[in-house]
Structure 1
């Protein structure tokens, strides 16, 4: 008996999708969003499972299954398959790449499952762009200029302690624990 290679095209647009989509004739992970640089962020993993494929009418028996796939950078995939005589009870999924040479029993149906895992890459995210004025109302922090920074200038209300015929005396207590250093003190009129 001669062994013949038979191609069986599988339609990836129908089946069960879990965190995957079929777009531009490719099976890919769903997008979660974009990072600060505009790069797409994908879900960490997902799978696609085919509907039952009638194979008994295609060939009588087979020795193995192999797959031809073009893979994009940034993801890892595994292909599994399962068989059934009645379309209800299925064998455990087997890895196509590892089990190619193992003879398979004749079956009427087959299913294919493709699991995709995204490779981890570094991304930049902005937690706040500091564009909304008054978001951070703190006496020691300012963000009204579009950047979060420590406040460098403080205006303190002085307490009037004495009044004389030549003027008034004002004072303000500055606690050493609130400031690391003081560069200068300027007193204004009024």
Structure 2
């Protein structure tokens, strides 16, 4: 009995995608965003699992499976495959290496799973220097001194009630719901 190598094309546009996409007929990790230098940011891992592939009508029996993959941009990958007699109950996934074939007993269906691991690189992220005046229009935030923080001192425009020979009387109404939040009142001249 002669052994023949058969190439089996797998449609990667269908299946179960987890943090992966198919773009330009290539399986890639999905892009999460960009760092401050414009470099793409990817999840640490992602996977794709094929739909059930009927192999009984293509192959009568097989010795094993091998994979050939073109890798770009430094990502690492692992390829797994599983077989099933009925397409519902599957054997555990076994890893397929590029240099040796994985042997399994013949079955009617097969599934392929590919895991991709992103290459780890350092990224630059820049935050605001908080020196621009009135950049944040929230009345409860202050950022003019070079750091972002909650405003703790509020200046109120007091209502002038009357003038006295020694000064003036000013009044400010404080709602009962906000009264618990006042820890002290300081009045300054001028």
TM over 0.5: yes
> Any stretches of 5+ residues in structure 1 without a counterpart?
149-190
**Aligned residue in 2 for 1:15:** 15
Q: Post-superposition shift, 1:120?
A: 0.8
CA deviations 1:6-59 (Å, max 9, x no partner) are 000001111100010011111001111000000110111110000000000001
Please tell me the root mean square deviation across aligned C-alpha atoms, in Å.
Answer: 2.3
Runs of 4 or more consecutive aligned structure 1 residues displaced over 6 Å after TM superposition: none
Q: TM-score, normalising length from structure 2?
A: 0.69
- How many residues are treated as equivalent by the alignment? 143
Determine the C-alpha separation between the residues in 2 that align with 1:86 and 1:99. 30
* Cα 1:15/1:45, change in 2 over 3 Å: same
Written as runs of structure 1 = structure 2, the 5 A alignment for 1:99-118 is 100-118=100-118
Residues 66, 101 of structure 2: 8 Å contact kept:
no
Match of 1:52 in 2: 52
- 8 A contact 1:64–1:99 mirrored in 2: no
Name 2:37's counterpart in structure 1. 37
Deviation at 1:130, TM superposition (A): 4.0
TM-score under structure 1 length normalisation:
0.69
Note if contact 2:130-2:146 (Cα within 8 Å) is conserved in structure 1.
Answer: no
Q: What is residue 173 of structure 2 aligned with on the other side?
A: none
Determine helix, strand or coil for the equivalent of 2:2.
Answer: coil
Structure 2: distance between partners of 1:132 and 1:138: 8
Task: Could you tell me which runs of 5 or more consecutive residues in structure 2 were left unpaired when the two chains were aligned.
Answer: 149-190
Q: What are the superposed Cα offsets for residues 66-123 of structure 1, whole Å, 9 maximum, x if unpaired? A: 1111111231100000000000110100001189445321100000000001011000
Query: Hey, what's the Cα distance between the residues in 1 that align with 2:98 and 2:126?
Result: 43
Q: In the aligned structure 2, how far is the partner of 1:86 from the partner of 1:14?
A: 20
